[in-house]
Structure 1
Amino acid sequence: MKVTVFGTGYVGLVQAAVFADVGFDVVCFDIDSRKIEALNEGKIPIYEPGLENLVQRNAGENRLRFRTDVKMAVDHGDIQIIAVGTPTNASGGADLRNVEMAISAVAEHMTDDKLVVIKSTVPVGTGDAIEENMSVRLNARGSDKCKVIVVSNPEFLKQGSAVNDCMRPDRIIIGTNDPEANLMMRKLYAPFNRNHEKFIVMDRRSAELTKYAANCMLATKISFINEIAALADALGADIEHIRKGIGSDPRIGYDFIYPGVGYGGSCFPKDVKALAHTAMGVGVEPWLLNAVEKRNLRQRYALFDKIDAFFGGELQGKVFAFWGLAFKPNTNDMREAPARALMERLWEVGATVHAYDPEAMDECRRIYGNHAQLVMATTKEDALAGADALVVNTEWKAFQAPDFDLISRSLKAQVVFDGRNIYDLNTVRGHGLTYFGIGRSSNTVVHGTE
């Protein structure tokens, strides 16, 4: 089967590499010539565990090719997968310009039947509009005998485990009412449907809304636990005990009820905004979605409030060691990362940041350049040198069992602000350090460890 993928980001590149790995002939198209050149040299522009080897192996065996020739890309694939970004636009909705450019390219260059698969997260009704628009354009250029079918096929990949998620999907949503398209999609995903039936077939609009509903549900769980954490802080309770108490209920579960400094990345923030925007457009008041976003925006500054209170508002000239810059572990993605909001707020009040992240250092340099109040550390220990306090923003494994004696000796104020609750209070305090977490009141006495 011949497949063309538009987009070489976290979704497109992973999906293209995985399809090539099961034997499909895949062309990956992008308008960014520098990115395509780098990929053809085996250089991966993003960090995702397992992706580099996957790309290099399949490119080396000529099952995966990277091109900027759009006509060649359209001609190649019987299936055209649209996996380009849909960032937030000025009004809070989804910016569909990348999708529109990809669709225009397919409509302009296709000379035979195509199945167009929309993997990009798009507002409900986009698939209908695309199919109608493409049919009109084909008729206008006298190619009315070419048949185009548009399918919604949302992705549910988690950055940091995207390759595994792609190879072992828990469900495969196919949004179409067309029997031929359904059959082609089943053939495309047959290698990933061996253990048990994973296909869920529905109409296109329902598939589009399913994607938004899934991400907004997860964002809601995060904002909910962070709101309970704020209550725990105010009432002298420990959110970690509360988390176990509610997570042990199988109706709730433990997934996505880990308190912290809020969600980030390229999906949850924009999708909550976009669905709220869609709701307003059809006369449905998005009370819950608005609250989810408001709590998350506030949560980004939860650590700043603790830092400011501890230092009595005297933050001018203070130095903070930052462990973690990416919005989550196992990625270099800093889009909407909580660490950015906190770092920029500390700069506003005259503080300096010594930053370290296992994978996001180059991305941090790209974003901030040679910022006068930013020191790029080479190791997590290097970040501690000369710092007043340690701030943990991302729960990388490399941060989870540190040398607390070294931390205690290095920090002038001997204080740790744990934005992901990865440390045991007794352990940290046992090394002479003051500890602040999220929803872990300083008045809470912890008896024993987990």
Structure 2
Amino acid sequence: MRISVAGTGYVGLVAGVCFAERGHQVTCVDQDQAKVDMLEAGRAPIHEEGLEALMRANREAGRLSYTTDHRGAYGNAEAIFIGVGTPELPDGSADLSHIAQVARQIAESIRQDCLVVVKSTVPVGTNHKVEQFIHDFLPARADGRKLRVEVASNPEFLAQGTAVRDTLQAARVVIGTDSAWAEGILQRIYAPFGLPVVSVSRRSAEMVKYAANNFLALKISYMNDIANLCERVGADILEVAEGMRHDRRIGGHFLGAGIGYGGSCFPKDTKALEHLGRQHNYRLRTVQAAIDVNEDQRTLLFRKARNRLISFRGLKVAVLGLTFKPGTDDLRGAPALSNIPLLLEQGALVTAYDPAGQERCRALHPEGEEGEGGIRYANSVREALEGAGACFVFTEWPEILSLSPQDFKQRMRTPLVYDGRNIYDRLAMLEAGVEYHAVGRRP
């Protein structure tokens, strides 16, 4: 089918490339010409495993193109997917301005019957409003015939770092429609994927996305809450999680305690769902609890270190990992970004390392000369450790996982390690003479 995709971020670009990979004719639309030029050259604006290879292969096969010309892209499309951002507003609600802009462009551009599919994460009821909005701006046709335009919901469930795999090999595809015509088009689009399709109403599909993400956020915050109690009573959260994961009712995923969730989805979606509840005079107490626990958890290790040290002033501090998770260059919601400003305010000399996120972090925290305070960026994980008086581990990249207790002992001036991901062997650190602090484990 002829598919156009509005937006070339994580959601839009990955969706468009994967649709092309499954045989559809896809045009990805973005208003930034420099970004389109980059995409045309086969370079992705995001760090995502396997994405650029699929971009080049489908471009060469003639199934994938990029443009800033939304009129041309939307004019003859059989289906248009909206994958633009819905960032968080100060009150926790979702900013739908990009959705509205694309909806109006679609209304003014389409020349045939068309299904519009919202992949962006939006509050329940948004698809209905988008459909109304498009019909409000549909121009009158010379022949008097009214175009058939319907809006469907197709939320994404990809994880950054594994987005391509999560799309091509998804556990399920959720489609939300209010007509057999719209459902039939989406079924045809996803037929080449060979995946289970869960067909529900539009409003239920919108809620599925929020319910799924909030459930996972609840699971993470629950384990962090238990981890904090484990420290006080002398239990070990890794042993507790091992005892839990074998229960099929609980499962083994998202049981890892640490310094909280981050990224572009969980922080935004928990606040958006809590805001939706308040709009309808309902207090989502479990969701608010997850938000509160996560906010406290993000700076837990900084507070531990501050209690342990007299002062950070003039102390070289290694920060290992800047992105919110390995496999991506995304810093949104990254725990490192909550802690680096605190360290800098306390006068620490921060040396940071991340294999993918340093350039993005450099734009937020420009490099300063060592000895004058501020932050510098190391070329390797071991370089970051040289002469450090304390080390914070925020992201479990493979090169950070590969560090041995001896690396900390021999390279650091004072081997004082605060592990926010619980990735090292506590006893091995102890035997090597490393003072090791983690989350939910015996000190």
TM over 0.5: yes
Distance 1:179 1:239 in 2: 49
Deviations, residues 212-265 of structure 1 (Å, cap 9, x unaligned):
000000000000000011111222221111111222211111111100111001
Contact 1:135 1:144 in 2 (8 A): no
Matched ranges for 1:236-385 at <5 A = 236-312=234-310, 314-371=311-368, 373-385=374-386
In 2 relative to 1, CA 77–367 (structure 1 residues): closer, same or farther, beyond 3 Å?
A: farther
Give runs of aligned pairs for residues 144-223 of structure 1, distance below 5 A. 145-193=146-194, 198-223=196-221
Q: Deviations over 1:239-292 (max 9, x none)?
A: 111111222211111111100111001000000000010100011112111111
Q: Does the 8 Å CA contact 1:24/1:63 hold for their aligned counterparts?
A: yes
Would you say 1:94 and 2:94 are equivalent positions?
Answer: yes
Preserved contact between residue 388 and residue 412 of structure 2 (Cα < 8 Å): yes
Amino acid at match of 1:111: R
Cα deviation for residue 441 of structure 1 reads 2.4
- The residue type equivalent to 2:68 in the other structure is T
Mapped contact 2:257–2:439 kept (Cα < 8 A): yes
Hey, what's the Cα distance between the residues in 2 that align with 1:288 and 1:125? Answer: 23
Partner Cα separation in structure 1 for residue 263 and residue 120 of structure 2: 15
User: Does the 8 Å CA contact 2:230/2:236 hold for their aligned counterparts?
Assistant: yes
> Secondary structure of the residue that 2:264 maps to in structure 1?
coil
- Once the two structures are TM-superposed, the CA of residue 141 in structure 1 deviates from its matched residue by 7.0
Alpha-carbon displacement from aligned partner over 1:5-61 (angstroms, at most 9, x marks no partner):
011111111111111112111100011222111111222111011111111221222
Q: In the alignment, residue 330 of structure 2 is paired with which amino acid?
A: D
Equivalence for 2:417: 416
1:31 corresponds in structure 2 to: 31
CA distance in 1, matches of 2:53, 2:206: 32
CA deviation digits over 1:350-381, x for unaligned, max 9?
A: 11211111111121122223355111111101
Aligned match of 2:80: 80
The secondary structure found in structure 2 opposite 1:11 is helix
CA contact (8 A) 2:176 2:200 kept: yes
SS at structure 1 position matched to 2:317: strand
- Alpha carbons 1:138, 1:144 under 8 Å: kept: no
Partners of 2:16 and 2:186 lie apart in 1 by 15
Q: In structure 1, what is the Cα distance between the partners aligned to 2:242 and 2:358?
A: 34
CA distance in 2, matches of 1:78, 1:72: 13
Query: What is residue 435 of structure 2 aligned with on the other side?
Result: 434
Query: Which amino acid counterpart does residue 316 of structure 2 have in structure 1?
Result: V
| Percent of residue pairs identical | 41
Offset from partner CA, 1:87-146 (integer Å, 9 cap, x none): 101221000011111111101111111100000000000011111221222266777611
Q: How has the CA–CA distance of structure 1 residues 279 and 140 changed in structure 2, closer, same or farther, with 3 Å as cutoff?
A: farther
TM-score, normalising length: structure 1: 0.95
| Aligned-residue RMSD, C-alpha | 1.4
Q: Structure 2, unaligned stretches of length 5 or more?
A: none
Where does 1:105-124 land on structure 2 (aligned, <5 Å)?
105-124=105-124
Matched residues in 2 for 1:34 and 1:327: separation? 27
**What stretches of structure 1 of length at least 5 have no aligned partner?**
443-450
Aligned partner of 1:391 in structure 2 is 392
Quick one: distance in 2 between partners of 1:72 and 1:352?
A: 53
Shift of 1:389: 1.7
2:19 is matched with 19
Q: In the alignment, residue 53 of structure 2 is paired with which amino acid?
A: N
CA distance in 2, matches of 1:184, 1:129: 21
Contact 1:169 1:192 in 2 (8 A): no
What's the counterpart of residue 133 of structure 2? 133
